[in-house]
C-alpha cells in the first residue's frame, strides 16, 4: 500500500479493498489500520473471510467494527442484492457508500435504484426483461467490434447466467439460448417472449 501510495505521491488517490481475513477475523482491524497507515484514501471491506468464499451472510456488522477503528472512509461490500439489503448493510455497517459486485451484473439497474431512493425516497419499478435484454444487446454490440463472435456468445451467456439468479424471465431466456452457438441467433432469441407477464 505504502509503496504504491508513495510512488503516486498524492497525485492519484489510492484505494484498498480487503476481506475480513483469510480463515478468521482476528486481523481484520489490524489489516484495515495497515491500509490506512500505508496511505489508502478509501477502504472497501468485503464482509467475509477468504474461507467463507461467497457463502451468505456477509458480516456487515464487522465492517462497522473496522469503521470505528480507522479514520479513512469505509465502503461496505458483500451480498447487497436489493434496496432492502442496501439499507440493512448501511445500517449495520454505518457506511454511507456500498460497493456492488455480483448484483451489478444480476441487475444493472440496482445502483441507479439505490441512488434514486437515496435522493427521493421513492422506489423505482423492478427491472424488466426488456431492459436486461437491451443491455445484453448493447454489450454484445460493443464486444463484437473487437472480439470473435464465438467469444461474444460465451460472454453474453456468462452475463445472462448472472442475471438468471433470482429472475425467472432471465432464467427462461438462459434455458432458451444456452445451446445456441451463433451470435445473431442468440441475440434474436433474447427478444422472444417466454409468456411470463411482468409488472408494468
Ligand atoms: C465479475 C467480477 C469481478 C470481480 N473482480 C474483482 C477484482 O478484480 N478484485 C477484487 O478485489 N474483487 C473482485 N470481485 C469481487 C467483488 O468486488 C466483491 O468483493 C465480491 O463479489 C463480493 O461482493 P458481492 O456479494 O456484491 O458480489 C469481482 C466480482 C465479480 C462478480
CA distances 38 to 15, 134, 151, 160, 186, Å, are 10, 43, 40, 39, 48
Contacts of 99 (CB under 8 A, 6+ apart): 17, 44, 75, 76, 77
Contacts of 158 (CB under 8 A, 6+ apart): none
| Closest among 159, 154, 196 to 179, alpha carbons compared | 154
* Residue with CA nearest ligand 1 atom 11: 17
* Residue with CA nearest ligand 1 atom 3: 101
* Residue with CA nearest ligand 1 atom 28: 101
How many A from CA of 89 to the centre of ligand 1? 17
Residue corresponding to grid cell 447487497: 80
Environment class of 84 (CB within 10 Å of its CB; exposed 0-12, middle 13-18, buried 19+): exposed
Closest-lying ligand 1 atom to the alpha carbon of residue 48: 22
- Residue 60: count of CB within 10 angstroms of its CB: 24
pLDDT of residue 171: 95
CA–CA gap between residue 6 and residue 4 (Å, rounded): 5
* Residue with CA nearest ligand 1 atom 19: 46
pLDDT of residue 10: 87
Predicted confidence (pLDDT) per residue in 35-79, tens digit: 999 999 999 999 999 999 999 999 999 999 999 999 999 999 999
The answer to whether 156 and 140 are in contact (CB under 8 A) is: yes
- Name residues contacting ligand 1 (CB within 6 A): 17, 46, 77-80, 100-103
Closest-lying ligand 1 atom to the alpha carbon of residue 58: 25
**Partners of 15 in the beta sheet?**
42
Closest-lying ligand 1 atom to the alpha carbon of residue 103: 26
- State pTM to two decimals: 0.92
By most ligand atoms within 8 Å of CB, the mutation choice from 20, 31, 35, 46 for ligand 1 is 46
Low-confidence ranges of the chain (pLDDT < 70): 193-200
CA distances 178 to 21, 49, 131, 137, Å, are 37, 33, 20, 16
pLDDT of residue 165: 84
By most ligand atoms within 8 Å of CB, the mutation choice from 42, 47, 101, 139 for ligand 1 is 101
Domains of the chain: 2-120 (3.20.20.70), 129-189 (1.20.225)
Amino acid at each position: 500500500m505504502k509503496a504504491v501510495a508513495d510512488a503516486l505521491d498524492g497525485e492519484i488517490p489510492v484505494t484498498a479493498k480487503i476481506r475480513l481475513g483469510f480463515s478468521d477475523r482476528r486481523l481484520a482491524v489490524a489489516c484495515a489500520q495497515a491500509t490506512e497507515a500505508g496511505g489508502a484514501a478509501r477502504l472497501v471491506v468485503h464482509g467475509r473471510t477468504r474461507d467463507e468464499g461467497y457463502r451468505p451472510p456477509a458480516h456487515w456488522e464487522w465492517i462497522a467494527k473496522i469503521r470505528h477503528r480507522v479514520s479513512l472512509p469505509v465502503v461496505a461490500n458483500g451480498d447487497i442484492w436489493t434496496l432492502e439489503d442496501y439499507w440493512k448493510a448501511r445500517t449495520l455497517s454505518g457506511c454511507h457508500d456500498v460497493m456492488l459486485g455480483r448484483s451489478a451484473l444480476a441487475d444493472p439497474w440496482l445502483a441507479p435504484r439505490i441512488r434514486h431512493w437515496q435522493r427521493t425516497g421513492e422506489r423505482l419499478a423492478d427491472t424488466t426483461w426488456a431492459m436486461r435484454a437491451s443491455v445484453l444487446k448493447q454489450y454484445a454490440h460493443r464486444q463484437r467490434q473487437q472480439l470473435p463472435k464465438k467469444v461474444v456468445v460465451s460472454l453474453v451467456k456468462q452475463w445472462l447466467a448472472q442475471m438468471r439468479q433470482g429472475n425467472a424471465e432471465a432464467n427462461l431466456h438462459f434455458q432458451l439460448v444456452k445451446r445456441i452457438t451463433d451470435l445473431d441467433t442468440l441475440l434474436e432469441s433474447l427478444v422472444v417472449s417466454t409468456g411470463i407477464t411482468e409488472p408494468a
